[in-house]
A and B are shown apart, each in its own frame.
Chain A
Amino acid sequence: KNQVEQSPQSLIILEGKNCTLQCNYTVSPFSNLRWYKQDTGRGPVSLTIMTFSENTKSNGRYTATLDADTKQSSLHITASQLSDSASYICVVSDRGSTLGRLYFGRGTQLTVWP
């Protein structure tokens, strides 16, 4: 069964600190992995996308890693800001259909305190 599991479910950190969010998946065949940021009451916004051959990608203070062998990904946030408070969703696409079906994790709810 194709699944995407994220941990932790929620996380609270102080402003300025770093944090790392985890994503494990069983989606096969694998096409790509994306991290989205979703603010409360808003639609998700894409942060990074990585294909099989990529093992790291950065977008400002966000750095995503991918280990396709162990089927794990992480999202590292550096020098957190209050505006980073949001849900971070890991999304994996399969290669088994022309659609490239997306499998969503439940998200990690990050809260940054001043």
Chain B
Amino acid sequence: DTGVSQDPRHKITKRGQNVTFRCDPISEHNRLYWYRQTLGQGPEFLTYFQNEAQLEKSRLLSDRFSAERPKGSFSTLEIQRTEQGDSAMYLCASSTQAGQNTDTQYFGPGTRLTVL
């Protein structure tokens, strides 16, 4: 399977714990995005990488959230001191810079986080 993969698919944690999610993009894609999606809503943009550089972060990304893409390949999203409001599906997407503003983002299956 050469699509975007995410791990784990599901995570249940207690409030106050730290969690880390991983995303492996399609291998030739240089752009990687993180989104958060709550039930009945569309995905909300969190952050974006081009290669290893984090070029944009949403105001939704509080200081408890940190994302990295150390070698320009896989990425991790860490949430520290989780809160119940962090419960959501966390989606990763990747794309290639085929043309400005027309690249299609390919989404992974998501990691569903439940904070108890």
Contact = CB atoms under 8 A, between A and B. Distances in A.
Contact of B43 (A44, A45, A49): A44
B42 A43 contact: no
A25 interface: no
Contacts of B103: 100
B101 interface: yes
Nearest to A94: B101
A62 to B, nearest CB: 15
A43 B108 contact: yes
Contacts of B43: 44, 89, 104
A105 B4 CA distance: 22
B107 interface: yes
Contacts of A102: 45, 105
Classify the secondary structure of B's interface with A: loop
Contacts of B45: 101-102
Given A42-B110, A46-B104, A99 B41 contact: no
B107 A95 contact: no
Interface of A: 4, 31-32, 34, 36, 41-46, 49, 51, 89, 91, 93, 95, 97-102, 104-107
26 contacts: A4-B42, A31-B101, A32-B101, A34-B104, A36-B107, A41-B110, A43-B107, A43-B109, A43-B110, A45-B107, A46-B104, A89-B43, A91-B42, A93-B101, A95-B101, A97-B56, A98-B55, A98-B100, A99-B48, A99-B55, A100-B100, A100-B103, A104-B42, A106-B41, A107-B40, A107-B42
